[in-house]
Structure 1
Amino acid sequence: MFSKHISPTIGASFFTCNINLDNARVKLQVWDTAGQERFRSMAPMYYRNANAALLVFDITNFNSFVAIKGWVKELQSNVPEAMVLSVVGNKSDLEELRAVQASEAAQFAESIGAHYCETSALHDQQGIDEVFLNTAAALLKLSSSNLVSSLRSYDSADVDNDKIPTGSPTEEDATHTGKVELPAWSIDSIAHGDVQKNMCC
């Protein structure tokens, strides 16, 4: 259930989730970095070796959309290898307050080679599964392209078929660093990916 009392991220919080796609499991290690300007200098230590970045803005706040353009430049300057980018418009339940048109955001995403989707943490976490599934699929494709050396592949005989976790974190999960079972959601989530191939028999 969505909590209206989740505090902004301070520094960064962390969680993992496993996603099964075809014959592979993608393990996402997600760092949710603080969006506030005073924490910006800390961000590179979390995303320097990232394989993917989720650039999240508030569809009711045009300045938040402008800000992600700065984050793209920063990522391009500080991440040496190819990475998966997704642009995510959050608060899609507030359509009547929309300040950023979906077409404009989608056009920007296309210009940087990113996927675009919209989410609502309030309405049954609408679109959030799609964000992680698309990221996992793109990481899987990237891992087979030999464009990155930091994306690790490894075999495992102990793989279950759990689906992507659903639900929302507690307030403590959302504001403190630690491994949690459920996907958290706030501005500028950074994902590091491991690709784990399923073994049969």
Structure 2
Amino acid sequence: MVADRRTKFKVVLVGDGGTGKTTYIHRILEGVFIKDYVATCGARVYQINFNTNYGFQLEFDVWDTAGQELKSMLSDAYYINSDAAMIFFDVTSKVTFVNVPNWLRRIQAVCCGDKHIPIVLCGNKVDCSNRKVKEQFIARSLKSGITMYVEISAKTNYNFELPFLALARKLTGIDNLTFVSNLNLKPADIPIDIKSIEESNRIMVELQNARDI
């Protein structure tokens, strides 16, 4: 490990209420030591650590809105000095996706300045059969500063590490970085069916390929 490598990062977690942000974080933290505190602006901050295949540990201080998404605007203190961000929406709720550009603009206005921080867009609840947000709508958002799109399911643990892994690779500059021996997840509440997994994987691959053209 290079002595001066950064291993601690601030990640802001945003998105409309009910999109599963806090559920996702608690799912990841289930069964491990949870270190959290209430920041001065009212957000709850969770420390999430990942061991890597390079022998060092990454520490993410994840700032959750703690219900403040119900307000018209979060305090700038929530966003300042962020190294990365995740934007959540519910694939079964169009209105939560319509608000994604608003969250993105807010992140870029406060966080970015002269730098561009990595931002992962997370489509949650892909275990549900009544999907409303189609891939063509998601594709448009990927042209506006989103680093990667990931489909997840907090209920089934589907792709649970992928948002953090995408951020970790961007923040460290190590494309083949992986997480090892990290999480003791609570068993999935429900099994995700194979058809949903195949459809979700297809969407992610096609959207990523479209970005690379």
Do the structures match in fold with TM over 0.5?
yes
Give, in angstroms, the shift of residue 47 of structure 1. Answer: 1.5
Structure scoring higher RCO (CA < 8 A, sep ≥ 6) equals: 1
Asked if the contact 1:28–1:136 (Cα under 8 Å) also holds between the matched residues in 2, the reply is: no
The answer for unaligned runs of 5 or more in structure 2 is: 1-22, 24-37, 187-213
Give, in angstroms, the shift of residue 64 of structure 1. Answer: 0.5
Out of 130, 150, 160, which is 1:117 matched to?
A: 150
Match status 1:137 vs 2:165: no
Q: Which position in structure 1 is the counterpart of 2:203?
A: none
Q: For residue 164 of structure 1, what is the amino acid of its counterpart?
A: N
CA distance in structure 1 between the partners assigned to 2:110 and 2:98 by the alignment: 19
Asked if the contact 1:61–1:100 (Cα under 8 Å) also holds between the matched residues in 2, the reply is: yes
Q: Which position in structure 2 is the counterpart of 1:16?
A: 47
CA distance in structure 2 between the partners assigned to 1:110 and 1:128 by the alignment: 24
Give, in angstroms, the shift of residue 103 of structure 1. Answer: 4.3
For the residue of structure 1 that corresponds to 2:51, the secondary structure is strand
% same residue:
29
Asked if the contact 2:68–2:74 (Cα under 8 Å) also holds between the matched residues in 1, the reply is: no
The answer for unaligned runs of 5 or more in structure 1 is: 1-5, 143-160, 169-201
For the residue of structure 1 that corresponds to 2:137, the secondary structure is helix
The structure that is strand-richer by fraction is 1
For the residue of structure 2 that corresponds to 1:134, the secondary structure is helix
Out of 51, 69, 90, which is 2:101 matched to?
A: 69
Normalising by the residue count of structure 2, what TM-score does the alignment of the two structures yield? 0.57
Deviations 1:30-72 (A, max 9, x none): 1111465433533421221111000010001111011111011
Give, in angstroms, the shift of residue 21 of structure 1. Answer: 3.4
Paired residues for 1:132-171 under 5 Å: 132-141=164-173, 163-167=181-185
Out of 93, 103, 123, which is 2:127 matched to?
A: 93
Q: Which position in structure 1 is the counterpart of 2:194?
A: none
Asked if the contact 2:121–2:146 (Cα under 8 Å) also holds between the matched residues in 1, the reply is: no
Deviations 1:105-145 (A, max 9, x none): 2442244242001111111x111211111111111129xxx
CA distance in structure 2 between the partners assigned to 1:119 and 1:70 by the alignment: 21
Normalising by the residue count of structure 1, what TM-score does the alignment of the two structures yield? 0.60
Change in CA separation of 1:129 and 1:87 when aligned onto 2, cut-off 3 Å: same
RMSD: 2.6
